[in-house]
Amino acid sequence: MVTATFSTRIQPRTPRGGFANEPFTNFKTAENIRAMKDALAHVGSELGREYDLVVGSRRLRTESKIRSLNPARPAQVVGIHQKAGAEHAEDAMAAALHAFESWSRTPVGTRVSLLLKAAEIIRSRHFEFCAWLTYEVGKNWAEADADVGETIDFLEFYSREALRLAAATPPIQYPGERDRLVYIPLGVGAVIPPWNFPFAIMAGMTAASIVAGNTVILKPSSDSPTIAAKFVEVLEEAGMPGGVVNFCPGSGSTFGNAIVEHPKTRFIAFTGSKSVGLEIHERAARARPGQIWIKRTILEMGGKDSILVCADADLDAAVDGVVAAAFGFSGQKCSACSRAIVEAPLYDVFVERVREKVAKLTVGDPAENHNLGPVINKAALDSMLAYIETGKQEGRLICGGSPRRPAENADGGFYLEPTVFADIAPDAVLAQEEIFGPVLAIIQVRGFQEGLAVANNTEYGLTGAIYSANRAQLDHAAREFHVGNLYLNRKCTGAMVGAHPFGGFNMSGTDSKAGGPDYLYLFTQAKSVAEKL
């Protein structure tokens, strides 16, 4: 375990206190710089460990392995994991069903205490978890810090939401009766998180499931299983009984499909691509022999997110917001700005100012805290390069467009320059398909109404933003810009738990609103109990 000198985080809050977001770390102070470097050194000494499957109270090993690699230095193995196959699905389900019998009847206060204890552990080892994120998925210090902070936020927020749900009452008491409304757990759920927020989203979906009284089969991404293994260790340290969370890395096409299709699976919580999300939804919708319920799918999928820059916008703020939202974590966020829609009077100067700002961004090993680290793997890099070649036919390359090997990194790494294209048509490939990398398309429009129409012209509807000084335009966008998370005069990334419940429309998912007051309803079912007096 990392020593306490790695962190001077604030003391844990009690469940009686009001929720407040975890503060961001100031990496300009010598103390925090030293703490992060110490954590990187410590975690670096632990790389390459082998982790077991966790099924009930058993630890299992398999012949097939998953090797998680550092995308900044692909020769460096972060963790070696067992690869669950379809043959492990029945054991995992049996363990989860057995644990559900007792966990579903465990008082909500006990379940809440588990999450709060886990939050306390993570808070005390904050920099250590930042370091794991840097090594396993290539996050720089600020991006890793935000991921860890959001993890703590989810644990704290869902704890309070569970207590609120437990205290729910029906709207009225019918005369002559005692009426109750209780929210009961669903059963065994499959949690299938992504690699890009491998701590926060993975922990958030898992925490929501178990605080509501469900048990979980957790199948992390093969690109980030080590972060998930570390979270399961935290839950065990906090006192989680065996079988409540079953840790099963494996292939989506074998183990994942087997769990999704299992007749005893009650719900699937998934975050990832549109294609995989739709496949899960289809598989889950097909009733299997012995299945007695309609499976619930909680899906967060892709985005093709736009920032609309009006002619009267604050130019400095708009440029800063677009560049931050487009290139934070190398654009590997479903909320990332991949389209800047700019009104004609501001277009030329906006393109030039973006070019100047992007030129100042550094690309390199995230352990050295560059602006952009690597993309997640070679397949992703190859896909992005193919889109860039398409972009060269569809518009004007302003900057970037090539792989890059940082001077300090002789070990390779999946690096791509931040890339900007101008003069992209609203219906072009670059303007319609999710690239999930550091590629920004700039689109010119004549005015606000045309810009809003372009912002709404994709099959997605996750995040969006508008920069304007016109109150009427902001209000109109609030009504008509069809996304689940809209931001006015700020960037379209960086949703905060509690303040910005997160989830999108259309092909962006089921609008599940993670970090919001409705989220736990998705993991429960309401039961009305009326007693005649």
CA dihedral 211, 217, 221, 224 (to 10 degrees): 60
Q: What whole-number distance in Å separates Cα of residue 333 and Cα of residue 326? A: 9
Q: Which neighbouring-strand residues pair with 473?
A: none
CA–CA separation, 362 and 369 (whole Å) = 9
Calculate the alpha carbon distances from 137 to 220, 330, 376, 447 in Å.
Answer: 13, 11, 6, 40
Query: First vs last Cα of the chain: how many Å apart?
Result: 57
Q: If residue 128 lies in a helix (H) or strand (E), which one and from where to where? A: helix 126-137
Per-residue burial over 418-429, b if 16 or more Cβ lie within 10 Å, else e, is bbbbbbbebebe
Q: Which positions are annotated as active-site residues?
A: 300, 334
Spatial strand order of the sheet with 215-218 comes to: 58-60, 53-55, 245-247, 215-218, 188-192, 265-271, 296-300
Q: Which residues are CB-neighbours of 304 under 8 A, at least 6 positions away?
A: 338, 339, 431, 432, 433, 434, 458, 459, 460
The β-bridge relationship of strands 460-461 and 505-506 is antiparallel
Query: 108-124 vs 225-237: helix axis angle to the nearest 10?
Result: 120
